[in-house]
Every structure is written in structure tokens, then in C-alpha cells.
Amino acid sequence: MTGAQPAPGAAPVLVLGGTTEGRRLAAALAAEPGLRPITSLAGRVAAPGAVAGDVRVGGFGGADELARWLVAHGIRAVVDATHPFAATISRHAAAACAVAGVPLVALRRPGWTAGPGDRWTWAADLPDAARRLPRLGRRALLAIGRQEARAFAGVTGTWCLIRAIDPPTGPLPPRHELLLARGPFALADERRLLRRRAIDVVVTKDAGGDATRAKLDAARELAVPVLIVRRPAAPDGPGITTVGSVDAAVAAVRALAP
């Protein structure tokens, strides 16, 4: 726990985190006098950064267990601030909140859109991206995350520079090199990386946000094609308030858990 102690009787708010927005949201909610953020992290990253308020780590054990956890902890609102590709926990959060009768705020950062000069190919999902990759380039930057690299294990015709925060586990493409690094990445560094490693295709998920978008700008400048994976569908329905920014999420929580 970091920051000031919450006031007695402050309303507990569960933040499903693991993202830059989750961390910023926890700080903003901790600064609200009547609220007590509890951030939940999956525990995938070996050394997550500091988070304001309380933190719990690890899966809940499915949607039913999450619903029980919400009731047991008297949670007044949940904010799903997980990564747009963390589809399972988002689905579980929607189901658990519906069962427990707890309002859910879904914080979904806008996706990226191509502009003039961009050479983007959209893939429906990771297996589709792996199928398309050999036709797009011989030397790929796989900037897709540690757990997803395994989807490219069958790619033999393209050498892959796999960038991830922690080393991937599971099968990997036979011709690859690992680059362990944590964003945000600056444009000048991305440009240098693409040039030095002679990258001729960049593979990314449509994560959105600024922290990892410099690779797209560098690719456009160097006329390098980008293979970009579409987001999975996000849950929607009654009881879910969808917002696109941390400020809007704070306002929504204030309205739901005054």
C-alpha cells in the first residue's frame, strides 16, 4: 500500500489493473476522500511498478469466485482497467458484477487508427497474424507480449525479434532473438531499433494508447509494413458503463459509489 490512509468508512472500489491506466486510476481514486481503491494484478509481471492504495495479486478462480470476493469485501464499484486483449478477466468481471449486483465501469482506451503513409494489414486474431506474417516480411519485430509469442511458433520463413517485458514461456518461432524491454518507448529509439535490426515488418496488437505507439510512427517513417491484430470483443450490457479515459472512469465511480 502506498499514499495516504483512506478515511474510515471509505467505499472500497476494485480496480482490475495491470496497465498504465490502472495505475493512474488507482492514484486518482486514492486521492478521492470517500473512496478506497484496491488494485488487482494478475501477477504476470515479475516486478510491477508501485500502485497507490491496496494491492492484491493473482487470479480469483473464475467469475463465481470473483463474485463472492466482491460481496465478501463489500465492493461498491469495479473498474475494469485491464489491457484490451485481456478478454477473459473482462468477461469474468462482467459476469461477476451482474451476479453480485455491483456496478462495472469498463475503461477502454481507444484503439489505433491508420493515417496517411501507414502500411497496415489487419489480422483477425493472433493465429491469423501468424498465417499472414511470412507474406509481409523476412525480419519481424514481434511486439505483441510474452504470452502471445507462442502463436508464431510455426513461423519458419521469417526471423523474429521478440520484444517482451519478461522472457516468454512455451514454444517460439525457430528463428528468433529475444529483446527484454519495458515501454514506454521513444520514437528515436524505435526508429534506431528498426534500422539496426533491419526490421521489414512490425507485428503488434491494437493496444491503443501512447506508451507503445512510437513503433507505429517509426514504421510509417521508414515505410515498414505493420501487421496489427484486432481487439477481441468486449462485454457490454446493463450495469456496464464504458468510458475511454481515466478522468471519465473517476467521474463514473464518483457517480456510482458516492
**Chain residues that interact with ligand NAP, rule: CB under 6 A:** 16-19, 40-42, 44, 59-62, 66, 82-83, 85-89, 92, 145
Give DSSP secondary structure letters for 10-36: PEEEEEE-SSHHHHHHHHHHHTSTTEE
Find the shortest distance in angstroms from Cβ 151 to ligand NAP: 12
Nearer to ligand NAP (CB atom), residue 35 or residue 229: 229
The DSSP call for residue 7 is: P
Task: Retrieve residue 120's grid coordinates.
Answer: 497496415
Please give the radius of gyration of the chain, using alpha carbons only, rounded to the nearest integer.
20
- For residue 16, count CB atoms less than 10 angstroms from its CB and return exposed for 0-12, middle for 13-18, buried for 19 or more: buried
β-strand partners of 39: 15, 55
Task: Retrieve residue 18's grid coordinates.
Answer: 495491470
Task: Retrieve residue 42's grid coordinates.
Answer: 494478475
Find the shortest distance in angstroms from Cβ 149 to ligand NAP: 11
Nearer to ligand NAP (CB atom), residue 68 or residue 191: 68
Find the shortest distance in angstroms from Cβ 145 to ligand NAP: 4
Nearer to ligand NAP (CB atom), residue 15 or residue 194: 15
Nearer to ligand NAP (CB atom), residue 105 or residue 200: 105
Report the candidate in 139, 136, 155 with the shortest Cα–Cα distance to residue 225: 136
* Residue nearest ligand NAP, CB atom distance: 59
From CA 102, how far away is CA 44, in angstroms rounded?
A: 26
Find the shortest distance in angstroms from Cβ 213 to ligand NAP: 14
Find the shortest distance in angstroms from Cβ 17 to ligand NAP: 5
Find the shortest distance in angstroms from Cβ 177 to ligand NAP: 21
From CA 213, how far away is CA 211, in angstroms rounded?
A: 6
Nearer to ligand NAP (CB atom), residue 18 or residue 137: 18
Nearer to ligand NAP (CB atom), residue 60 or residue 152: 60
* Residue for grid cell 485481456: 86
